[in-house]
C-alpha cells in the first residue's frame, strides 16, 4: 500500500490551519494553537514547520503577535509544493523518479503504469490549492 507519511498529512493540516488564519486577517499563529486545534504534538509541528519554512511556504514573525503565517495567498500554494517539501517527490516507485534505479526500466511494462499513475497524481496535487482545501473543509462543516 502506498501512503503519505504522518509528516505529509500533518503538514497539510498545519498549512490548512494557517490558511484559515491568513484569509481571516493575515494573522500569525503560534504553533501551540495549531497543535491544540489539530491535536498534533507541538514537538512534531516544530519539526514539520522547518522544511515548510526552508521551501518558503511559511514565514515566521518574531515578537508580540508573532508566530507563523503563509508566505503567500492560499490560492497560490499548491498541495504538490507542501508534499514535495515534506515527502520529496510524489513518484509511486523509485524507478519513475530515477530511471537508472532499475536496469529493467526500458523494457518494463509496469514502469509505464507507475509513471502514468505518478503523473496523474502529481497533476491532481498541482491543481489543488490550499484555497481548494479550505472550500472542501467549509463544505464538510456545513454538511455536519
Burial class (CB in 10 A: 0-12, 13-18, 19+), 18: buried
Where does the pLDDT of residue 1 fall: very low under 50, low under 70, confident under 90, or very high at 90 and above? low
Q: pTM score, two decimals?
A: 0.89
Q: What are the residue ranges spanned by the domains of the chain?
A: 6-143
Average pLDDT over residues 99-128: 89
| Residue 69 β-bridge partners | 59
DSSP symbols for 16-50: HHHHHHHHTT---B-HHHHHHHHT--HHHHHHHHH
The one-character DSSP state at 109 is H
**Crossing angle of helices 42-54/6-23, nearest 10°?**
80
Where does the pLDDT of residue 101 fall: very low under 50, low under 70, confident under 90, or very high at 90 and above? confident
Residue 88, pLDDT score: 87
Q: What CATH number belongs to 6-143?
A: 1.10.10.10
Q: How far apart are CA 89 and CA 95, in angstroms?
A: 12
Q: How far apart are CA 29 and CA 27, in angstroms?
A: 6
Q: How far apart are CA 54 and CA 52, in angstroms?
A: 6
Amino acid at each position: 500500500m502506498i501512503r503519505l507519511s504522518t509528516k505529509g498529512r500533518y503538514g497539510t493540516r498545519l498549512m490548512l490551519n494557517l490558511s484559515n488564519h491568513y484569509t481571516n486577517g493575515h494573522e500569525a499563529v503560534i504553533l501551540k494553537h495549531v497543535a491544540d486545534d489539530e491535536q498534533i504534538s507541538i514537538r512534531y509541528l516544530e519539526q514539520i514547520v522547518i522544511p515548510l519554512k526552508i521551501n518558503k511556504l511559511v514565514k515566521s514573525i518574531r515578537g508580540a503577535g508573532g508566530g507563523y503565517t503563509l508566505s503567500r495567498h492560499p490560492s497560490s500554494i499548491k498541495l504538490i509544493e507542501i508534499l514535495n517539501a515534506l515527502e520529496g517527490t510524489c513518484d509511486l516507485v523509485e524507478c519513475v523518479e530515477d530511471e537508472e534505479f532499475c536496469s529493467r526500466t526500458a523494457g518494463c511494462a509496469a514502469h509505464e503504469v507507475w509513471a502514468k499513475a505518478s503523473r496523474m497524481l502529481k497533476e491532481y496535487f498541482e491543481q489543488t490549492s490550499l484555497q481548494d482545501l479550505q472550500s472542501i473543509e467549509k463544505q464538510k462543516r456545513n454538511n455536519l
